Amino acid sequence: MRLVICALLGLLLVGCAGLTRGQNPRMSPPAFDPALVLPIVKWPPEQPRPLTAADAATAATSSLAAGATEPAAFRSDGAVLRQIATPWTAADGDIAPLLARMQATLLHSGGVGIAAPQVGVPRRVFLVKHGTRPPGQPTRIVAYINPQVIWASSETIEDYEACLSVHGVGGQLPRAEALRVRYQAADDLSGPPREVDASGWDARIFQHELDHIDGQLYIDHVAHLGRSLLPIDEMRKQRDAIHRKRGLLPEQPG
């Protein structure tokens, strides 16, 4: 298992370096070990939270022991999704086991991003799978440690989202069309922060994952707008129709 963790982390480290502005490396498809997959923490879709200062409650201390690699070290209660996650620090130990498990869980799920709270760890860490829209691009999974938005466009764009932690539904909401994120790289946690620019679909993934580390879910935004959630199949149909119009998916053959 240690060799698999090292291989997975190596891919994540290359991705972090590669997405610094001005660089764009080629990456091999990530390895996958089902033994590393963790359960995804769930939240009921019928229980959105108001977007108020009450969401700024103090985060509980993580139950992740330093260097732990077993599922018993991770929380499974939904409350972890409603905490403001705390930064990853040297006191948390080696980040490699967590990143390896998060990547395996993301690959197993078929999703495009995952945040540490979704596997029961209230830390400001998430992964983004880049290159999923439009299809046909090389995909790469990149780890973002202690990320923060340093700029976001005033222009917004409407689109549909779903969530690995909210089963069976999706909803439409606006997000900033572009943003710049400052973060620490997994291969250089003590070094200077890096920056990445994202736009369009990737920018939406970033904002979805940033919500997770701030104790929010996309369903909170949908409820705040007075909109309804859709069954997941209907949401995908609506989303894909929009993406075809925007050139993010190929047109269906007539």
Q: Is the peptide bond before 25 cis (omega within 30 degrees of 0)?
A: no
Query: What per-residue confidence (pLDDT) applies to 29?
Result: 52
Question: Residue 120's closest CA among 35, 63, 36, 186?
Answer: 63
Q: Contact 92/1 with Cβ under 8 angstroms?
A: no
If one compares 227 and 71, the residue with the highest pLDDT of the two is 227
Q: Hey, where are the domains in the chain?
A: 2-245
Give the tens place of pLDDT for each residue, 128-157: 999 999 998 999 999 999 999 999 999 999
Question: Residues 70, 155, 158, 209: which is the catalytic one?
Answer: 209
Q: Contact 120/41 with Cβ under 8 angstroms?
A: yes
Q: Contact 198/181 with Cβ under 8 angstroms?
A: yes
Give the tens place of pLDDT for each residue, 13-29: 434 333 445 343 333 45
- Clarify whether 161 is annotated catalytic: no
Query: What per-residue confidence (pLDDT) applies to 252?
Result: 83
Using DSSP, state whether 177 is helix, strand or coil: coil
Q: What is the rounded average pLDDT for all residues in the chain?
A: 84
Is the pTM higher than 0.75? The answer reads yes
Structure tokens at 118: 């979704």
Is 2-245 a CATH 1.10.10.1110 domain? no
Give the tens place of pLDDT for each residue, 65-104: 333 434 345 677 899 999 999 999 988 999 999 999 999 9
